[in-house]
Structure 1
Amino acid sequence: MKTIEVHLVNAFTAFDEGGNPAGVVLNTDSLSAEEKLKVAQAVGYSETAFVSKDEYADVALSFFTVTGEVDFCGHATLAAFSLMFKKGILQAGDYTQRTKAGMLGVSITGDGNVVMEQKSPEFTQRLPYEDVSELIGIAPDVLASTQLPIEVVSTGLPDIIVAVPTGDLSKIDLNADKTTEFCRQHNAVGIHAFEICESSSNLTASCRNFAPLLGIAEESATGSASGALACYLAKHSIEEIDSKGSSSENCSKHQRALTKVNPTFNFVFEQGRAMGCVSRILATVAIKDSENTQWEVSVVGLASLIGKKAIELRSPSI
């Protein structure tokens, strides 16, 4: 019998409240993939991160939902690095992590903020309003009124990015079975829906994330999808500038940044309000060339330790 100590961490907290819980297990070099899955299932969170040694990176991280392994998880990455910082395993500084999504940079600031590098975005396909309408219970003409496309975007995991009019985010009524099959058909892990906040708000957008394909009905903070959404908003800001010019009255403060060379976009996202667990996620997109092909993407947040859990694993029969 093995006893596995799992640290329980709330990631992307706002003023030490809200956030999305993740399990974190340290020193997992001897655990098999099957054992990691059993631990993740026993913890029952949307994701659990497993930290091990790596020959070339500072650490290697693997991520398991209750249904299987995924290539990357933003909030579990934040949880793992925040835990290692709080335990004194890591100091403030710059690190590399090996994941199935690739080698990614992570920085820890002196006040405990974790800055996670994500992959350059992949914009893989656009989807009809009519198809997605059937999944989320919002009429196609309402979705079309945003004048923003529904698009699959990945900065580590592919999400379906869906804009809804301000005030309609809370009206989403997800059909989990249809969404699971649709995501499977279109090589996406879930739906990340958002509404733009009022210009007077310090938030860019409020978001909801649904990933029933991974066994997640709804998630209160999603780091990978937040990076994808930031790239989506930056891309469509570029397209609006190209079509309307920088003097357009419709240009947001983010769009006006495009009048500069190599612009940087800063976004603040809220997620989890519908679940009564509000999270705060910061995302930055820096475009490094005049052709808009070299992107640097990072997602930033804080985390709080909420406890521990001991998981008993039976030794395999011989």
Structure 2
Amino acid sequence: MSNQENTARLLPDVAVHAQPHLAGALDWVGMADIQVPVLFDAGDGEVQRASARVGAFVNLNQPDKRGIHMSRLYLQVEQALSTRTLTADSLHALLRGFLDSHKGLADRACLSIHFEHLVRRPALRSAHSGWRAYPVCIEASLTGQDFLLEFGTEVIYSSTCPASAALSRQLIQDQFAHDFDADEPIERAAVLAWLGSEQGIVATPHAQRSVARLRIRPVAGAGFDLIRLVDRVEHALGTPVQTAVKREDEQAFALANGGNLMFCEDAARRIQRALDADDLLSDFHIRVEHQESLHPHDAVAYASKGVEGGYGSTS
């Protein structure tokens, strides 16, 4: 036997030694923020490689066992996620591998994956386009034969306050009444010039960057169709943030804001209606956050599909 083989054989493993005075089962044990590349198809057939942070865990249901085999989890994560495109089946197999490698120690496994996926989005009017990075969160768990998969992302959009818009219109009316004598005839050209001046538009409604955070449970076999989900939500809102912007695009964005005045409640209901109509979703949870420009606090609304045993909290 070589010195190298003898050294390897004699490496100590203190984890096998129980500590009876510290006995107890543990809900989850594993690793967070494992850095690994993942391969992801957002639904357009183009697989992108992204830098992800992964959490991998199993429970420790044997009170007298000191620890789990973390290296086994790490090696399985690295092999599975860096070489195969993410699918429900591949994640199910990975979690099954976690449990198979911890027989006698664990009967539950879970996994979380966080990364960003780039999607090219066209401008509103011009021929330009640009990239948008959508955060992706995938969470999966396996308990016996019960496999649960959740998928999340965020949509950023603009929200213009309906109340502020109404108050601004009133001030514009007041200014018009002040600038034009009711007893004098009004020429169309003068009104047009007034409407195009800063003097005429004396008030504008407040708007803010807003975020819709989405968690969904796809039906079996639906996969991770990020682009379809984002398109559906952005269409429902009408004012998603833009990438490449020329003047004609900015004007079109202003028009979209004017045509989609909304409180946070309105935005949540728009998304709720859009997702309710999606047969590929078994459940969903929505958190809408309007990052107010009027207040130092945010306006927030929640909505869900409301299935039994599904989402419904403000977590």
- More strand by percentage: 1
- Which TM-score applies when normalising by structure 2? 0.26
- More helix by percentage: 2
- Whose radius of gyration is greater, 1 or 2? 2
Higher RCO (CA 8 Å, separation ≥ 6 residues)? 1
- Which TM-score applies when normalising by structure 1? 0.26
